[in-house]
A = this chain, B = another copy of it.
Amino acid sequence: MLYRVEVRYKKGVLDPEGNAALDALRSLGFKADAVATAKVYLIETPSSQKDVEEMCRKLLTNPIIHDYSVSKA
């Protein structure tokens, strides 16, 4: 089964890569008001969605700064 994990910054947490992309887009002349980034992990595994959520808690995310969602891809 292929699962899709999306990891985002929590609201209020700085997103340095998003801010850098925003600055760079503006410096190239593009109009942009905000850029936020997220990371996607596509995980091929025989495990259950519950196990994938445990992978998120134990390895893939930092609960202090991240929110995440798991879905079947």
Q: Which residues from chain B contact A31 at a C-beta distance below 8 Å?
A: 45-47, 51
Judge if A55 is at the interface, Cβ distance under 8 Å.
Answer: yes
How many copies are assembled? Answer: 2
Cβ–Cβ contact A33 & B21, under 8 A: no
Q: Which residues from chain B contact A42 at a C-beta distance below 8 Å?
A: 18, 34-38
Given that A30-B51, A46-B31, A47-B31 are known contacts, is A36 also in contact with B41, CB under 8 Å in the complex? Answer: yes
Cβ–Cβ contact B6 & A59, under 8 A: no
Which A21-60 residues have a C-beta within 8 angstroms of B? 21, 24-25, 28, 30-47, 51, 54-55, 58-60
Residues of A participating in the B interface, judged by any CB pair closer than 8 Å = 6, 18, 21, 24-25, 28, 30-47, 51, 54-55, 58-60
